[in-house]
């Protein structure tokens, strides 16, 4: 297996650090628009090679694949670049993985009621072409989407006979402080992506169809395990809701995230001021995207680890009937402590938790345990080998009956 890793930011660098401890691949070409960033990530292992790439160029991605005889392209950049990388991998005859699907576009007339272009629609539109070519595009294989989708497959196969709701619930008690010990606002993940998913109309699967609702709707308090505790969660647009019902029979699918009131207020202000826009504006002779400016002035998520304390939890709350036919309510989850990931890998817990899942998936593909063709989500594969290997990596998952 020869892997092209596109993106050497927080998640890409964590991916490189995790994969360095495994032996299932021949080489990883770590590529980024910033060559110095790629070189830093590639320096972690002798099997790694650094390269410069323009992720917005399908031709550049395909050329790099051919140059290095790439078999698998791992997309670790913001999803605005998904289609050029996705198409570049296909053009070069390589398989493809990402952690977030192609972007959505709200319905022009009823954005908080009806779906426009949904997350992943552009990728699923060409699924038959990938299948005919015998190539695999494994989409949404980060932590969310990704691990929760694996949990959904496991719950359907081993825990439930009938599923009412697949409810992804994510929360954390993470705190970032400055040099003086004061708590500061510093997102632990890409601010560009966070704005995209939090301000777009959330999608809900209900009784056989998708519909949208208003951002931050249906607030609920969810009690997260392993000391994190109660966190208010709200509806957010996310890929799980678009993936799970394609392979798993359920009456309802939702995604709710514990953002916190401060974060929600900041996002609402950004939207009010138009600072969430991606369209470029001209300022003193320079064209710039307001959202790019916001992302640039905030701390780089890859650098906040030493200032961060706490845990993050990703999981899936499943309700329905158990295998014995009685009512069941179960939370399958994965908790990661920032102190542990910083000590063991040198990367903060949110990017580390995201990065470990595609590494596990690639190892299963290398072994032949997972295989397939077309555009497939994690739900299309047996969950048990994935969860067993995740535990082998030293990061076990848990189950809590509610």
- Cis ω for the linkage preceding 145 (within 30 of 0): yes
**Are 70 and 94 contacting, i.e. CB atoms less than 8 angstroms apart?**
yes
β-strand partners of 5:
30, 74
Alpha helices in 20-92 (DSSP H): 35-42, 58-67, 82-92
pLDDT at 189: 65
**For 140, phi and psi rounded to 5 degrees?**
65, 50
**Are 253 and 242 contacting, i.e. CB atoms less than 8 angstroms apart?**
no
pLDDT tens by residue, the chain, 402 residues: 999 999 999 999 999 999 999 999 999 999 999 999 999 999 989 999 999 999 999 999 999 999 999 999 999 999 999 999 999 999 999 999 999 999 999 999 999 999 999 999 999 999 999 999 999 999 999 999 999 999 999 999 999 999 999 999 999 999 888 888 888 777 766 777 788 778 889 999 999 999 999 998 999 999 999 999 999 999 999 999 999 999 999 999 999 999 877 788 888 888 888 888 888 988 888 888 888 888 888 777 768 778 889 999 999 999 999 999 999 999 999 999 999 999 999 999 999 999 999 999 999 999 999 999 999 999 999 999 999 999 999 999 999 999
In the chain, the domains with their CATH numbers are 2-138 (3.40.50.720), 147-349+397-401 (3.30.360.10)
DSSP 126: T
Q: Name, in order, each residue with C-beta under 8 angstroms of 218's C-beta and a sequence gap of 6 or more.
A: 234, 235, 254, 256
Round to whole Å and give the CA distance between 193 and 201. Answer: 14
Give the distance from CA 226 to its chain's centroid: 22
Round to whole Å and give the CA distance between 252 and 243. Answer: 12
3-state secondary structure 228-279: CEEEEEEECCCCHHHHHHHHCCCCEEEEEECCCHHHHHHHHHHHHHCCCCCC
Q: Name, in order, each residue with C-beta under 8 angstroms of 150's C-beta and a sequence gap of 6 or more.
A: 357, 378, 379, 381, 383, 386, 387
Round to whole Å and give the CA distance between 137 and 375. Answer: 5
pLDDT at 344: 96
Closest CA to 85 of 32, 18, 27, 143: 32
Provide the token pair at 212. 């949208």
**Are 386 and 364 contacting, i.e. CB atoms less than 8 angstroms apart?**
yes
């Amino acid at each position: 297996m020869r892997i092209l890793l596109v993106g050497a930011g927080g998640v890409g660098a964590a991916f490189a650090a995790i994969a360095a401890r495994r032996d299932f691949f021949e080489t990883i070409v770590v590529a980024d628009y910033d060559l110095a960033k790629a070189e830093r990530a590639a320096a972690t292992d002798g099997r790694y090679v650094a390269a410069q790439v323009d992720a917005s160029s399908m031709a550049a991605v395909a050329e790099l694949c051919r140059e290095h005889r790439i078999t698998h392209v791992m997309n670790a950049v913001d999803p605005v670049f998904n289609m050029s990388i996705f198409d570049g991998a296909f053009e070069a005859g390589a398989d493809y993985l990402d952690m977030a699907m192609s972007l959505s576009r709200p319905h022009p007339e009823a954005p908080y009621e009806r779906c426009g272009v949904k997350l992943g629609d552009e990728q699923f539109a060409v699924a038959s072409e990938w299948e005919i070519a015998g190539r695999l595009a494994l989409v949404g294989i980060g932590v969310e989407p990704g691990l929760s989708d694996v949990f959904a497959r496991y719950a359907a196969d081993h825990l439930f006979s009938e599923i009412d709701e697949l409810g992804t619930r994510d929360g954390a008690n993470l705190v970032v402080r400055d040099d003086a010990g004061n708590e500061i606002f510093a997102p632990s993940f890409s601010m560009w992506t966070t704005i995209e998913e939090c301000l777009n109309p959330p999608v809900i699967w209900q009784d056989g169809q998708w519909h949208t609702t208003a951002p931050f709707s249906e607030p609920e308090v969810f009690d997260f395990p392993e000391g994190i505790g109660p966190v208010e969660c709200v509806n957010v647009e996310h890929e799980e809701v678009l993936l799970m019902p394609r392979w798993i029979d359920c009456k309802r699918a939702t995604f709710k995230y514990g953002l916190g009131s401060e974060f929600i207020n900041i996002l609402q202000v950004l939207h009010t001021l138009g600072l969430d826009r991606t369209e470029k504006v001209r300022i003193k002779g320079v064209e710039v995207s307001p959202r790019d400016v916001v992302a640039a002035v905030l701390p780089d998520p890859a650098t906040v680890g030493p200032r961060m304390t706490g845990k993050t939890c990703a999981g899936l709350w499943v309700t329905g009937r158990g295998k014995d036919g009685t009512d069941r309510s179960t939370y399958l989850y994965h908790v990661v402590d920032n102190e542990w990931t910083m000590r063991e890998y040198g990367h903060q817990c949110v990017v580390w938790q995201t990065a470990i899942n595609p590494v596990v998936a690639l190892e299963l593909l290398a072994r032949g345990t997972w295989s397939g063709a077309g555009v497939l989500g994690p739900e299309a594969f047996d969950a048990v080998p994935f969860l067993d290997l995740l535990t082998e990596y030293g990061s076990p998952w848990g189950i809590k009956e509610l």
